[in-house]
Chains A and B, each alone.
Chain A
Amino acid sequence: MKKNKYITLQLALIIYIFFLLFFVAQPLLYNTSISFQDPSGKLTISNYIKFLTDPILHTITFNTFIWTIGSVVFQMLMGLIVALTLARPFHGYVLARMILLVLPWAMPDVVAAVSWQWMYNDMYGVINDILQKLHLVHFSIPWLSKPELARAAVIIANIWKGYPLSGMFYLAALQGIPQELFEAAAVDGSSPLQTFFYISLPSIRKHIITTLMLTTIWTINYFPLIYTMTGGGPANATDTFVTYAYRLAFRFLDFHGAASVSTINFLVIIIPSLIYLRILNIGGETTI
């Protein structure tokens, strides 16, 4: 009986491994191999040399950095605030959770991008309208038309799109903290701030690190929002590794060049991934 179960498990695993090989390993190998070829199929490293000596490298590295840091830091902060808000039930809890934790995450990328584009619009966008009604500004701000503003604007949109994931992780972690700890703290006269710093935060520390790693990897690779909202403009201000690789492949039909950009991007992403794996391992040895 026990042996049968073991075989079933192995079979289930084989299917999984097959899909992994087919959808992850195969494209990865293919991508790496064409990145070392020229259009005629000859072995070459010219794709890499071309990309690494292209002046655009500085721009997109800088942009990818700002985009990732800005998005990740604020997504995690927003997620934490929302998770703390939702940690205790209150009136209208289900609806609030739906709006705060499900809506942005569930909205398709392109729909979200187009909606934000409309909100940022300086002719009839709602953001400018609100700012003017509050008398914060007395003219419309062309959000997507100035390089610095556009950079901030896509990051703000991405924070909104991505914070629910962090929020969900934290919420799950917070709800897993034994209620007795809070009760004990309350009996000892701990202030809400003290409770947060001495009970909640240490309890979800592991989750924060996990979320940080995953969000970082996903943000570096996240593409549709920028591409739909600005196309990488104005004047390359929002161009990242992935928008550049996409453009090389699907606009300039330079599949080999795009493959080399993707490979370098992959190497960059490997770093947080390795740190993440290491932390997971440590997590296996020690208890929270």
Chain B
Amino acid sequence: MRKLVYVLFVLLVFTAISSYAFGADKLTVWVGGHVVEQEQTWKDIIDSFEKKFGVKVEYQLIGFDVYYDRLVAAFEAGEGPDVSFADLGGWVPTFAAKGWLEPMDKYLNNADVTKQIWPNLWPTVTYNGKRYGLPWYTDCRLLLYNNIMFKDAGLNPEKPPKTWADLLSYAQKLTDENKQIYGYGVSGKKSEVATLGYMIFLYSNGSKLLDDNYKKAVFNNKNGIEALEFYTDLYKKYHVSPPGTPSYGEDDYRSMMAQNRVAMAIGGPWSFPLIELANPDIKGNYSVAIHPYGKKPASVLGGWASVISTTCKDKELAWKFIDYITSYDVWMMWIERHNGPMPTRKDVCANAPGFKDKKWQVVLSTFPYAGVRPPIPTWPQVSEQIQLMIQKVLTSDTSASKAIAEASKAINSILSK
């Protein structure tokens, strides 16, 4: 909370100063996401960019809680920053459709960095066939689990569950309702994490959400219903997820996992520092594995991209900045200092010494399986329908097939507009 107040205060001061003291010939940069915690590193990167190109950069590191609202308000007012960070969960196409972002193809086509980016990231920054961003860091969702609880339940932490059947039998062994200990945390709260949870189950059951043109919902079928049934039955039928499931998401379960109360949940590379922050003793006692699957391994990727606003006066300079922070040297320096998050550059992932660690190897080997959230401007509305669908099944007698039918209908009507 103090941090948030501090960030807000710095923001206010910066905004005040920037609107009075400086002219327009400076590059303004807004950074969001988990990486804003590394204040010193950002200062060093900006300093070296300023020296190298002899320009002035005004940057703000903005905490996640307030970042989206601030950015949207700034863009809507026509005062967006020259360069900003956009979440790969649909922000780029949403902003592009509003006309807030500058297409980047003319820079990307001739840049060396383009060849190094993991190819499955490009759809997240593409809208109407044009690319509007350069992905900067990424991640993929995995199964995060507690080794101590595995051992206490007589399970081998070296052998995580592979399939849905394994997942259920492991979770049942791990659950002890009398002690309020649960095997697997189902993300059920009304938030994007519920959508992501269902998507992993859906993708891994050989289905997907929308057709290739993003015009129609295509999960109202046997595989989709099976995935929703299994996802919700973990809570409703098998009781391996806590009673408060409809109000919990993966972040809540990570905290419970740190206290040895929930054994497995969806997590990712960003979870490592956070779970250790919640309980330092957990260090070395948690692992990650590819999430148990129905028919084939699957994951969903996330992360952040740098984008240029249409109101930016010096777009060449904006591109130079983006190219610079995504360069091999800057990324290697970052990884040497912080050992995470996962760079979008394949060469850095392959060469960074810190990534030889077992947990990172799991992340890197899962990444190619990771799908994207449909990159469409209406994604927030679509995602909300999926959250409602999940919550309906979790909190009432609505059957999975009925909830899916309703959700598909609502999504099709959103997509047809």
Contacts and interface: CB of A to CB of B under 8 A. Distances in A.
Contacts of B391: 233-235
B395 A147 contact: yes
Contact of B72 (A144, A150, A250): A250
Chain B residues touching A, range? 20 to 34
A162 to B, nearest CB: 22
Interface string A222-253: 00000000111111110000000001001111
A122 interface: yes
Interface of A: 111, 121-124, 139-147, 150, 230-237, 247, 250-253, 255
A123 B261 contact: yes
B69 interface: yes
Given A123-B244, A142-B243, A234-B189, 10 more contacts: A111-B1, A142-B242, A145-B247, A145-B395, A146-B246, A234-B188, A234-B190, A235-B190, A250-B69, A252-B378
Contact of A145 (B246, B388, B392): B246
A124 B259 CA distance: 10
Nearest to B247: A144
A144 B76 CA distance: 34
B242 to A, nearest CB: 6
Contacts of A146: 246, 395
20 contacts: A122-B242, A122-B243, A123-B256, A140-B180, A140-B244, A141-B243, A144-B246, A146-B246, A150-B247, A230-B190, A233-B247, A234-B188, A234-B189, A234-B246, A235-B190, A235-B395, A252-B378, A252-B381, A253-B94, A253-B98
Instruction: Specify the main secondary structure of chain B where it touches its partner.
Output: helix
Closest 9 CB pairs of A and B: A233-B190, A144-B247, A145-B246, A142-B243, A235-B391, A142-B244, A122-B244, A234-B246, A231-B190
A237 to B, nearest CB: 8
A130 to B, nearest CB: 16
A141 B246 CA distance: 12
Nearest to B398: A235
Interface string B16-27: 000000000000
Contact of A142 (B190, B246, B377, B378): B246
Contacts of B384: 247, 251
Contact of B68 (A139, A141, A232, A250): A250
B94 A234 contact: no
Interface in B126-151: none
A148 B282 CA distance: 37
A35 B291 CA distance: 45
A251 B382 CA distance: 11
A140 B190 CA distance: 21
A255 B388 CA distance: 22
Contacts of B76: 253, 255
B109 interface: no
B246 A233 contact: yes
A119 to B, nearest CB: 12
Contacts of B189: 231, 233-234
Contacts of B68: 250
B245 interface: yes
Contacts of A124: 259, 261
Nearest to B377: A253
Contact of A234 (B259, B378, B380, B394): B394
B396 interface: yes
Interface of B: 1, 68-69, 72, 76, 94, 98, 180, 188-191, 242-247, 256, 259, 261, 377-378, 380-381, 384, 387-388, 391-392, 394-396
B243 A140 contact: yes
A150 B242 CA distance: 16
A123 B180 contact: yes
B72 A253 contact: yes
Nearest to A39: B98
Given A230-B190, A251-B384, A235 B243 contact: no
Contacts of A121: 244
Given A122-B244, A145-B247, A235 B72 contact: no
Give the residue among A139, A143, A235 with the most B Cβ atoms within 10 A. Answer: A235
A146 B245 CA distance: 10
Contacts of A230: 190, 247
Nearest to A247: B384
A236 B189 CA distance: 11
A144 B392 contact: no
A124 B380 CA distance: 32
Give the residue among A141, A250, A251 with the most B Cβ atoms within 10 A. Answer: A251
Give the residue among B190, B259, B392 with the most A Cβ atoms within 10 A. Answer: B190
A132 B1 CA distance: 31
A234 B247 contact: yes
Contacts of A247: 384
Contact of B245 (A145, A231, A232): A145
Contacts of A235: 190, 246, 388, 391-392, 395-396
A122 B241 CA distance: 12
A252 B247 CA distance: 22
A232 B1 CA distance: 23
B383 to A, nearest CB: 9
Contacts of B378: 252
B176 to A, nearest CB: 13
A123 B190 contact: no
A58 B364 CA distance: 48
A139 B244 CA distance: 12
Contacts of B72: 250, 253
Nearest to B75: A253
A111 B180 CA distance: 27
Give the residue among A111, A145, A150, A255 with the most B Cβ atoms within 10 A. Answer: A145
B373 to A, nearest CB: 14
B380 A251 contact: yes
B379 to A, nearest CB: 10
Contacts of A232: 190
A232 B380 CA distance: 15
Contact of B242 (A123, A234, A237, A255): A123
A204 B387 CA distance: 48
